[in-house]
């Protein structure tokens, strides 16, 4: 074998050895939990929060997805899919939270995984209501 051919084959093998490392790295476990220290209020009479005045409305604010699920019930979840870190969306027609990246679905009230590749549920937050004020806390 000539030196030139040896170098070509050696470099090709070195390049191929890097591919599995890239695949393994892309599948490594990452932490896609939502914010840890959540504590904020929303005034439902503010036009900025108008989406929450109707059942089925949702709002992404302060790193939290707030959902108005039934007459006087609100839920707050992390908006970050636990599979790949994509931002999820609430689907009022189906009543589930959906990840647009890989089709993961979550329960809109508990954050539990309903289907797809997510390894765990969405982080949930406590929501209390006093008049037109919602308080969302970790």
Domain count, the chain: 2
Q: Which structural domain range is residue 3 located in?
A: 1-30
Contacts 24+ apart (CB under 8 A), 81-90: 81/32, 81/118, 81/122, 82/32, 82/33, 82/113, 82/118, 82/119, 82/120, 82/121, 82/122, 83/32, 83/116, 83/117, 83/118, 83/119, 84/32, 85/30, 85/32, 87/60, 88/122, 89/58, 90/58, 90/65
| Same domain (yes/no): 76, 18 | no
Q: Find the CATH number of the domain harbouring 113.
A: 2.102.10.10
Q: How confident is the model at residue 36 (pLDDT cuts 50, 70, 90)?
A: confident
| Same domain (yes/no): 9, 58 | no
Here the tokens at position 100 are 């647009």
Q: What is the pLDDT of residue 70?
A: 93
Give the E-state strand segments of 14-116 in sequence order: 39-43, 58-61, 64-70, 73-77, 89-91, 96-98, 105-107, 113-115
| Same domain (yes/no): 133, 68 | yes
Q: What is the pLDDT of residue 34?
A: 79
Q: What is the pLDDT of residues 43-99, one digit of tens each?
A: 999 999 999 999 999 999 999 999 999 999 999 999 999 999 999 999 999 999 999
Does position 13 have pLDDT exceeding 80, yes or no?
A: no
| Same domain (yes/no): 21, 47 | no
| Same domain (yes/no): 78, 26 | no
| Same domain (yes/no): 26, 76 | no
Q: How confident is the model at residue 2 (pLDDT cuts 50, 70, 90)?
A: low
pTM of the model: 0.78
């Amino acid at each position: 074998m000539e030196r030139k051919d040896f170098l070509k084959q050696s470099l090709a093998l070195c390049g191929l050895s890097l591919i599995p490392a890239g695949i393994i790295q892309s599948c490594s476990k990452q932490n896609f939990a939502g914010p840890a220290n959540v504590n904020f209020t929303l005034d439902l009479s503010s036009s900025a929060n108008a989406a929450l005045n109707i059942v089925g409305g949702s709002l992404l604010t302060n790193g939290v997805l707030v959902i108005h699920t039934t007459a006087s019930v609100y839920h707050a979840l992390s908006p970050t899919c636990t599979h790949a870190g994509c931002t999820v969306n609430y689907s009022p027609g189906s009543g589930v939270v959906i990840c647009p990246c890989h089709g993961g679905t979550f329960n809109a009230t508990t954050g539990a995984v309903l289907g797809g590749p997510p390894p765990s549920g969405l982080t949930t937050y406590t929501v209390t209501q006093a008049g037109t004020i919602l308080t969302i806390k970790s």
